Amino acid sequence: MSFSLDLRYDICLQPIELPVFNSVAIELLQLLADHDTEIKDVIETINKDQALSIQILRMANSSAYAGRYKSETIKDSVSRLGVKQITNLAMAASQAALHASSIPVVNEIMQELWLHSHACALGCQSLAIGTGHRGLADQAYLAGLLHDIGKLYLLKAMEQICLNSVTGFELDRETLLAVFSDMHVDQGVRIMNHWDIPHIYGKIVANHHAYHFDPHDTLLVIVRLVNYISKQYELNSFPRYVQPLNAAPEIDSLHVNETVLAQLEMDMKGCCAHDE
């Protein structure tokens, strides 16, 4: 299905500053790229946003992360889980909050997109560990979380078009998904560049659907395989729009076995229970 040139034009006119990232979460991500960052800098940054701080603390004390002890403060959480894990939680918490809309059809797709992105984040982390790339696990989580950021931007853009329309313009699911298919990679790259997100994640956004890709780029291969597999687990509501025919090259590159796939399925499907 196609969509009108007028809609494409209106989308391109929408401001690049549409809310697809939390500013504190972005600041944390940029701090993470600086090897001289100290823990106190991370704690001070998180405490700038009280709502985000509370959500991070809640997630840090959830069954997935709490372990034997629960944290009473952000400082405790950072000390127990580490800067990388806390940054992941901050980005996940802030992204979850942004996937909501007052327009029913947009809200429905936003919720589906969040489920897909969160599942891919957990799946990428799981696959990195399972295939002997534990050192990439934290980066893999963020890469999986952010790979479809262009879709969130497009949803926010079309939401604004609909809310500001004086002609009674209404959105439908097929149009929204057609826009995804045609525009989400380019718009995702644009967003990543605008917000100065570390280049390693921008490459994922740009190439997670590319026909040709570098099989030695392990992080990219992980994201591509998890994104492909997500449709088998019914964690991708948009598979017919942008998917490779098969993932054999990715499976071969990572040397994935049945044990790894079984754990991957468990970890990805487990996110459904956590999000309910």
Q: What average pLDDT is seen over the chain? A: 89
> Given a cut of 90, is residue 252 above it in pLDDT?
yes
241-251 pLDDT per residue, tens: 556 668 899 99
Distance CA 274, CA 119 (A): 10
Structure confidence at residue 167 as a pLDDT band (50, 70, 90):
low
> Given a cut of 80, is residue 24 above it in pLDDT?
yes
> Given a cut of 70, is residue 239 above it in pLDDT?
no
Distance CA 250, CA 256 (A): 9
Distance CA 4, CA 19 (A): 25
Q: Which long-range contacts (CB under 8 A, 24 or more apart) does 201-207 make?
A: 201/142, 201/143, 201/146, 204/143, 204/146, 204/147, 205/146, 205/147, 205/149, 205/150
**What residue segments make up the domains of the chain, in order of their start?**
5-17+100-275
Distance CA 262, CA 123 (A): 11
Burial class (CB in 10 A: 0-12, 13-18, 19+), 8: middle
Residue 75: per-residue pLDDT: 92
Closest Cα to residue 236, out of 210, 269, 260, 214? Answer: 269
Residue 135: per-residue pLDDT: 95
Distance CA 130, CA 126 (A): 6
187-217 pLDDT per residue, tens: 999 999 999 999 999 999 999 999 889 999 9
Q: Is the pTM of this model over 0.95?
A: no
Q: Looking at residue 237, what DSSP letter applies?
A: S
Determine contact, residues 227/123, Cβ cutoff 8 Å. Answer: no
Determine contact, residues 172/105, Cβ cutoff 8 Å. Answer: yes
Average pLDDT over residues 74-81: 90
- Which pair of tokens denotes residue 54? 């509370």
> Given a cut of 60, is residue 276 above it in pLDDT?
no
Q: At a CB cut-off of 8 Å and minimum separation 6, what does 13 contact?
A: none
214-229 pLDDT per residue, tens: 999 999 999 999 999 9
Structure confidence at residue 233 as a pLDDT band (50, 70, 90):
confident
Structure confidence at residue 1 as a pLDDT band (50, 70, 90):
low
Q: Which of 27-41, 57-71, 83-97, 226-240 has the lowest mean pLDDT?
A: 57-71
Residue 71: per-residue pLDDT: 86
